[in-house]
Amino acid sequence: MRIIIGLGNPTREYQATRHNIGFDTITRLSDEYNIPLDFKKHKAICGRGYLGGEKVILAQPQTYMNLSGESVRELVDFYKVTNEDIIVIYDDVALDVGQLRIRPKGSAGGHNGIKSIIAHLGTQEFPRIRIGVGEKPKNWDLADYVLGRFADEEQPVIREALGRAAQACECIITDGIEEAMNRYNRK
């Protein structure tokens, strides 16, 4: 079993913001793989289904970004999976809009949601997919930038990136993280 966790903030005001790209990827996986997000448990909206022939739980933590680790810890404990059996999807301002970066482990890199997960799991070793949301403009506040929405001209790039992130999840499950890195970590 795998648990795929997309990070974001709950409530309507945060929908479709740069910071909610993880939620958007979970919604894309739900749509493409017919996995309804139909129950709330472990401080998350979840769905059960199959991806790449393996049972998966899709999860959108409802704790707000900075407390994401609470939900992830509950999911890992309840389903008795290892840290290697989760995939965390989140935004990254250090990557160009739509660029993917898949890694088996790593630091938080300043991302508060990942800091929370590392603190609750006690390790940096868990697979993740970072989706580029672009560098913040000079003189902008980082929070204002990531809580803002994508420009119209960025929308096609983001839609394509969501599709590639969904495919990357399936690749991680079927072919392993190394193959997914080789296939999707390109500009």
CA distances from 115 to 12, 22, 28, 109 (A): 24, 15, 25, 8
Which residues, other chains included, contact 65 with Cβ-Cβ below 8 Å and sequence gap of 6+? 7, 8, 9, 19, 112, 113, 116
> Which distant-in-sequence residues (6+ apart) come within 8 Å of 14 by Cβ?
8, 20, 147
The answer to whether the beta carbons of residues 103 and 128 sit under 8 Å apart is yes
Query: Cα(49)–Cα(30) distance, rounded to whole angstroms?
Result: 9
- Count, in order, helices (H) and strands (E) of the chain: 6, 7
CATH number of the domain that residue 70 is part of: 3.40.50.1470
Residues belonging to the active site? 19
Number of domains in the chain: 1
**How confident is the prediction for the chain on average, in pLDDT?**
96
Question: pLDDT per position in the chain (187 positions), as tens?
Answer: 999 999 999 999 999 999 999 999 999 999 999 999 999 999 999 999 999 999 999 999 999 999 999 999 999 999 999 999 999 999 999 999 999 999 999 999 999 999 999 999 999 999 999 999 999 999 999 999 999 999 999 999 999 999 999 999 999 999 999 999 999 998 6
Residues forming a β-bridge with 127: none
Pick the closest to residue 47 from 67, 63, 32, 26 (CA basis): 26
Structure tokens at 154: 């960025």
Domain that includes residue 87, residue range: 2-184
